[in-house]
């Protein structure tokens, strides 16, 4: 069964990039996040209506020769890993709370 997941990114700060590169980075982030979510298990990790106000992703390296699409994929992968890690903590906390109520 495939879950219905809605992802809304209100702000993605990309400092130091040209407008053209920032456009392609944003587009790559969106495409890669969709791909990762479709193949992943986020629906089993996150509860319904999870709302993340702010999230800090993993760091990664790139240089002046890195393509915008590659940078976007790195951002998406970092974001996905952060969401997954947060979701696992949410599931653990729910389990701890229900175990304590027995």
pLDDT for 89 equals 54
**pTM for this structure?**
0.71
What average pLDDT does the structure give for the chain?
A: 75
Give the residue extent of every domain in the chain. 19-42+60-97
Whole-Å CA distances, 46 to 17, 26, 68, 90: 33, 24, 29, 7
pLDDT per residue, tens digit, the chain (102 aa), is 556 667 777 788 888 899 999 999 999 999 998 888 888 766 555 555 566 666 777 777 888 899 999 999 999 988 888 877 766 554 444 444 444 444
């Amino acid at each position: 069964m495939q879950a219905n997941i809605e992802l809304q990114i209100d702000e993605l700060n990309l400092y130091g990039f040209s407008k053209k590169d920032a456009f392609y980075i944003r587009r790559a982030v969106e495409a890669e996040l969709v791909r990762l979510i479709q193949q992943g298990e986020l629906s089993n990790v996150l509860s319904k209506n999870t709302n993340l106000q702010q999230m800090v992703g993993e760091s990664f390296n790139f240089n002046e020769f890195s393509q915008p699409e590659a940078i976007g994929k790195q951002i998406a992968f970092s974001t996905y890993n952060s969401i997954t890690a947060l979701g696992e903590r949410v599931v653990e906390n729910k389990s701890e709370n229900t175990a304590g109520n027995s």
